[in-house]
Amino acid sequence: MTARAGIIWTTLLILAGIFSLAFIFFTLFPGQVPDAAWQYFSPVEVERARRYQQIMRLVSILAFLAKTAFLVWLVYSARAAYWSDGVLRLTGGRYYPALVIYFGLIWLLLKVVGLPFNFYGSFIVQHQWGFATQNLASWWADYLKSSFLDLILSGAGVILLFWVTGRWPHTWWAAAGLFLSGWLFVSTFLWPLLVAPLFNRFQPVTEGPVKTMVTQLAGRAGLKVKEILVMDASRRTTKANAYFTGLGATKRIVLYDTLLANYPPDEVEAVVAHEMAHWQRGHIVRGLLWGILANFLLLGLLYAVLKLTFTYEIARPGPYPPHLLVAMLLFLQLVSFLGQPVQNAISRRYETEADQVALELTGNPRAMIKLQVDLTRKNLGDVAPPPFIEWLTSSHPSPLDRIQASEKWGQDDNPRYSRGQ
């Protein structure tokens, strides 16, 4: 490892450590919520939601730290290289079988490290707080299904990645970026058709009032929304939500059945309008383009760092030795953790825009405010997370920000405020 590589790795680790400590500090001591929140929530509600969020935040940061510590240990103890040599001996020096076994081993160990946190956060805590509706067998079925999918897809990705390192030793990162960009488009297109149905059932909305509301909103938004799908989210959780997904012909708005069952029509309308706003403003494609830019940047940086760190291994002909996989995973883990503020700032901008467009479509700020209050109460959302936590991890503006933006929209002399016309 060159001195410069040492500085880069140390800087990344120190920054991730500082971010993690600050995250833990503000999780344990979140401070006061702004006074404006008391207009919509009682102290008991805020306290209860904060306790729930505290637990979920601790689980997520501890899972990150455990996985990172494991990767750091593999790299710095030289176990990563030692195991890779062992696997190569096992396969009689045959590269690709060794790579596959090595990847499988690291993947499995990372799964083992992450499992307790995953199980605690998505099963135990969800039951303790009364959100979960699925039993243990069904949780394991989900876990095994999604793990298998991850194993196959990331395994294929790793084989392709190491193959390109042998094919184009100095420009593989650009080739990998191109493959990854293509894959992002294909997977966004196919996800709703192939992956989502593995976990849930989707039914088009057929009943009268919701269907009529959707048609009217789509007309106002100038969109050809053929159907809205309802997902059987209630098989896992009592929480309500909705999302917009897909690309081209697979674009769709999905509502949780828990939303339709437990929220009044004007709030459902606000949700649908928000999702249509994402559609109308092309947020998925814009998000994909940001993702592609980030991928090229990340892969280019990865190449530069690997070249400084493993100068000797990389100079040899042929694909990179399997043990570089661990350093790659560590680098991507650290950089994507540190890059969260950028990614989330972009996401929050889109969400703010979607709320504004939704208000123009419904002309009903009261319903939007009621929706935010209801969602926050029932899902135990943090009405106003500590600024550092919001900056690092929030993909959406805080409920209080969304409520205040709707209040402001309602008060402004808004020329487009023309409900029913």
Q: Please give the residue ranges that form the binding site for Zn ion (CB under 5 A).
A: 351, 354
The answer to whether 283 is annotated as binding is no
Which CB sits closer to Zn ion, 269 or 351? 351
Q: Which residues contact 97 (CB under 8 A, 6 or more apart)?
A: 91
- 213: which DSSP letter? H
Residue 182 · residue 189 · CB < 8 Å: no
Residue 387 · residue 32 · CB < 8 Å: no
Q: What angle do CA 238, 242, 131 make, to 5 degrees?
A: 15
Query: At closest approach, how far in Å is the CB of 358 from Zn ion?
Result: 9
Buried b (16+ CB within 10 A) or exposed e, 121-146: bbbebbeeeebbbbeeeebeebbeee
The answer to whether 278 is annotated as binding is yes
Active site residue 257: no
Query: At closest approach, how far in Å is the CB of 355 from Zn ion?
Result: 8
Query: At closest approach, how far in Å is the CB of 268 from Zn ion?
Result: 15
Catalytically annotated residue among 355, 382, 390, 401: 355
DSSP assignment string, 105-137 = HHHHHHHHHHHHHHHIIIIIHHHHTT-B---HH
Catalytically annotated residue among 142, 150, 266, 275: 275
Residue 256 · residue 231 · CB < 8 Å: yes
Count the Cβ atoms, other than its own, within 10 Å of residue 329: 21
Which CB sits closer to Zn ion, 351 or 390? 351
Query: At closest approach, how far in Å is the CB of 244 from Zn ion?
Result: 7
Nearest-angstrom CA–CA distance, 368 and 323: 52
The 3 state secondary structure assigned to 184-209 is: HHHHHHHHHHHHHHHHCCEEECCCHH
Q: Which residues contact 27 (CB under 8 A, 6 or more apart)?
A: 54, 57, 58, 61, 389
Active site residue 267: no
Query: At closest approach, how far in Å is the CB of 237 from Zn ion?
Result: 18
Which CB sits closer to Zn ion, 351 or 401? 351
Which CB sits closer to Zn ion, 267 or 351? 351
Do strands 242-245 and 252-256 pair parallel, antiparallel, or not at all (unpaired)? antiparallel
Which CB sits closer to Zn ion, 259 or 305? 259
The answer to whether 274 is annotated as binding is yes
Which CB sits closer to Zn ion, 255 or 327? 255
Nearest-angstrom CA–CA distance, 25 and 389: 10
- Counting Cβ atoms within 10 Å, is residue 89 exposed (0-12), middle (13-18) or buried (19+)? exposed
Quick one: tokens of 410? 């309602």
Query: At closest approach, how far in Å is the CB of 256 from Zn ion?
Result: 14
Instruction: Tell me the binding residues.
Output: 274, 278, 351
The catalytic residues are 275, 355
Instruction: Tell me the binding residues for Zn(2+).
Output: 274, 278, 351
